[in-house]
Structure 1
Amino acid sequence: MNKQLLIIFGLLIVFFSVLVGRAVYQVMDATPQLPKIAKDTNTLHIALITQELDTPFWDRVAQGAKQEAKKQGVAFEVTGAYAFDDSAFLDAMELAIHSKVDGILIQGLDNPRFKELAQVKAAYYGIPIITIANDVPVKDTLRKTYIGTDQVAAGQALGKHALQTLKKGDEVVVLMDEAKPYFERQRLKGLKRAFHRQGIEVIVRTTGHEQQQLVDSTQQLLNEHPTSDAFIMLNANYTNTVVQEISKRMRLSNFQLYTFDDGVDAEALLQSKKINALVTQQPEKMGQQGVKRLVDWLNGNEMPLKVAGYFTSFEIEEVGS
């Protein structure tokens, strides 16, 4: 009798083990797969991650990076999110870390989860991170370096250009994201340096990045400051909406309008003479330099990298130039 009970008990264990194993398999099979890495373990693998896939500026960053990756003989992929989807962007960053790529080039995001992923998870796996175009404070992320425009200098140059038209007593409205990301704060710092002691009244306003929020913010600004002399958009992606809302109520020529070239419509707005000037950057150079610096670091050829970053050049492009 005892022997029969043991046999029955053993069969039950086997039965339940099969059920548990099948359930685990189904869960694992339904889980999104991490990016696959080629079997050649001698080849370095680098990922470029952006919040703005398929946009002119970031396509140019990717193009420069791809060309340098091919030259260096490293595997390269572009991933990220569309239209500033922070959650999808950070998920892509986490997947790249867990897939154990050798290095990451990334559009910096001044966000607690970004900082945790960079400072803890990437550091745990020994994956170096270089920020591209948009930087974040190094103390919060442990990023190796930054490749891109000196945003303080760019903001200051744009401010000095605006001063060629503005005069003492004029009013300038500066529009920035309500989250006040680091790269926008740097641009604002440069603007304020340019306008310091120039008799220019600088009005800084924030807005959400959703379309209706931008519309509402612009309308409110026009109601509160109808006689302002200039608008400066620190986030270039806001420019088209601001231009549309102004043109519904008054002439665009009533204002000087300035921004940067990393927005989807910025260059087209300049060419159509709907804005007066913008800061043009070198996205291809950013991508190329990013891959080169990362590969040099991974191969031990350049250690340490300059924490302050490697600045690419920029210039002010105005209507008719």
Structure 2
Amino acid sequence: MDTLNQNISKPSLFSSFVAITKARLAISVVFSTVAGYLLGVESWNSQNWLTLLLLIIGGYCMVGASNVFNQIIEKDLDALMDRTKNRPLPSGTITKQNAFILGVALTVLGLGILYAVNAKTAMFGAISIFLYVSLYTPLKTMTPLSVFVGAFPGAIPYMLGWVAATGSFGIEAGTLFIIQFFWQFPHFWAIGWFLYDDYKKAGFFMLPTGKRDKKTALQIILYTIWMIIASVIPAFGYTGKLFLTKISAVIVVALGLWMLIYAFKLYKEMDAKAARKLMIVSVSYISLLQIVFILDKFLR
């Protein structure tokens, strides 16, 4: 009976893969890449479907690899936090050796697939995984500046899609990068706020001042404002082929103000509940923003 219970409770290979690659996070990142690709495509044909498929698979492999290596490095720290103690590595579901093999395999496969799209896409994919694993991950226990460093690989996926579609990095891709770069700060600081106590157990100090104080809340407001400004720049005709109509710009500003309201609520209430609401709104914001940009392009 004990053996039967163990077999029933033992995670499947698929569920372990989903957990160690952080599938939900990986899918949201791939969504950003797809959005950037759709914005960069000039004319649609059968080849685009193949490129898009390669981008999705290659993108997932690269994000999955980053998450695998991140969990290998943070295995002992993950065991200290309630949020992460049941992940495959700290729970013993997957060994470090097997996780490393998976990470390497996903990296090689992902880079190969992205290179089949074009060389620049593979290059930015490689830069992203390097920054995330080699700089952001170790810095999380050293300095709150880790969020600044992590914002670079976090902002690459949106512009990566444009590069995959056009084969070039210009003002358009740079604008997409800047939009998602500024979004990272209120998003991750909101997470750092409501998970502050859990992060503290592992020695992670993600907030800019290291504390849940008014200065941190004020910085969240300021970066949200910068994010809104960056998001409407395409409406003024300074970003090459990346353009946003005035109607869509109004919608984008409205979405930004919606997020800004929750940033001010956090400043006023100063609690984990308000931070969690801001985090949820921030996730909705970036997805809706990308959808607005796509619809604006194809419906104008």
- Report which of the two structures shows the higher radius of gyration computed on alpha carbons: 1
TM-score, normalised via structure 1 length: 0.27
Flag the structure with higher helix content: 2
TM-score, normalised via structure 2 length: 0.28
Flag the structure with higher strand content: 1
